[in-house]
């Protein structure tokens, strides 16, 4: 079982996640001249993105993707793209072509098709993200892979659309990377904060969990769980 890195406060958790991002970016750029990262949505990563915005990185070599997106316009308050744009992307010298967002303003199917095509073009085949950042919901979901979702059984596609409204609020359709695309990454870092996550995190840490977050296990890559003490309180 991968080690659990527990931090006293969300601030220390965020700093550790930033250090992980910086290390992954440096290694990827040194090895391949570019760094591909899939950002997590939700609220936890906002502080991380704000911290990264103050870093002096080779942003020209960094390509931003998303693990999932709500099917909303990019300027909607609940858009994962908007959260990243507000906290990071508009604050750094990033070429627009380095932003590979999921086009939430389109129909779920069309957004998924376009994103899948973008992944294929970027890698010339199957995606292998240098880093995938993930959060975990209180129900054990990650990205937009929810417990019991048919999307969990998808083995051919790297991107899929959940046509029907998915929790948590806002109850809108979603587009998400599949477990196959996530588990093909060189590294996955989970950021989990808050007592509300404790029950499911403990379940996953006991092993054998079929919760979506528990099924993230890179085939040829590293998995890092960065959690705060509240989230780890039942582990």
In the list 24, 37, 38, 40, the residue contacting ligand 6PG (rule: CB under 6 A) is 40
Is 135 in contact with 42 (CB distance < 8 Å)?
Answer: yes
* Whole-number Cα distances in Å, 111 to 31, 117, 186: 31, 10, 25
Is 129 in contact with 186 (CB distance < 8 Å)?
Answer: yes
Window 112 to 151, contacts with ligand 6PG (CB under 6 A): 135-137, 141-144
| Least CB distance to ligand 6PG at residue 128 (A) | 20
Burial class (CB in 10 A: 0-12, 13-18, 19+), 53: middle
Q: Does 43 bind ligand 6PG (CB under 6 A)?
A: yes
Interface with ligand 6PG: number of residues (CB under 6 A): 15
Using the contact rule CB under 6 A, the part of the chain among 23-31, 38-46, 119-127, 226-234 near ligand 6PG is 38-46
Q: Does 104 bind ligand 6PG (CB under 6 A)?
A: no
Rank residues 24 and 132 by Cβ distance to ligand 6PG and give the closer one.
132
| Least CB distance to ligand 6PG at residue 40 (A) | 5
The alpha carbon torsion through 160, 163, 164, 167 (nearest 10 deg) reads: 40
Is 225 in contact with 190 (CB distance < 8 Å)?
Answer: yes
Q: What angle do CA 156, 158, 164 make, to 5 degrees?
A: 95
Rank residues 101 and 141 by Cβ distance to ligand 6PG and give the closer one.
141
One character per residue 65-94, x = contact with ligand 6PG (rule: CB under 6 A): --xx-----------x--------------
Helix axes 45-52, 10-32, angle to 10 degrees: 50
- Using the structure block, give the residue that is written with the tokens 């995606």: 127
| Least CB distance to ligand 6PG at residue 144 (A) | 6
Q: Does 177 bind ligand 6PG (CB under 6 A)?
A: no
Phi-psi region of 26 (alpha: psi -120 to 50; beta: other; left: phi over 0): alpha
Rank residues 142 and 173 by Cβ distance to ligand 6PG and give the closer one.
142
Using the contact rule CB under 6 A, the part of the chain among 6-14, 40-48, 122-130, 149-157 near ligand 6PG is 40-48
| Least CB distance to ligand 6PG at residue 80 (A) | 5
Burial class (CB in 10 A: 0-12, 13-18, 19+), 69: buried
| Least CB distance to ligand 6PG at residue 139 (A) | 9
Binding site for ligand 6PG (CB under 6 A): 40-44, 67-68, 80, 135-137, 141-144
């Amino acid at each position: 079982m991968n080690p659990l890195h527990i931090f006293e406060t969300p601030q220390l958790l965020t700093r550790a996640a930033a250090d992980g991002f910086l290390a992954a970016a440096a290694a990827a750029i040194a090895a391949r001249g570019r760094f591909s990262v899939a950002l997590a949505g939700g609220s936890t990563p906002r502080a991380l993105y704000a911290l990264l915005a103050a870093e002096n990185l080779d942003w020209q070599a960094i390509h931003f993707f998303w693990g999932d997106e709500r099917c909303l316009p990019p300027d909607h308050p609940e858009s994962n793209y908007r959260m990243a744009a507000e906290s990071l992307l508009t604050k750094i010298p990033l070429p627009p072509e380095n932003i590979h967002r999921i086009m939430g303003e389109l129909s779920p199917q069309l957004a998924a098709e376009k994103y899948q095509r973008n992944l294929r073009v970027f890698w010339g085949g199957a995606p292998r993200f240098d880093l995938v950042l993930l959060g975990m919901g209180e129900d054990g979901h990650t990205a937009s892979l929810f417990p019991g979702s048919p999307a969990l059984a998808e083995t051919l596609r790297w991107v899929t659309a959940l046509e029907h409204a998915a929790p948590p609020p806002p109850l809108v359709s979603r587009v998400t990377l599949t477990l196959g695309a996530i588990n093909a990454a060189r590294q996955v870092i989970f950021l989990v904060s808050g007592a509300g996550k404790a029950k499911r995190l403990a379940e996953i840490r006991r092993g054998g969990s079929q919760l979506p977050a528990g099924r993230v296990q890179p085939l040829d890559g590293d998995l890092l769980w960065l959690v705060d003490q509240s989230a780890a309180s039942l582990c």
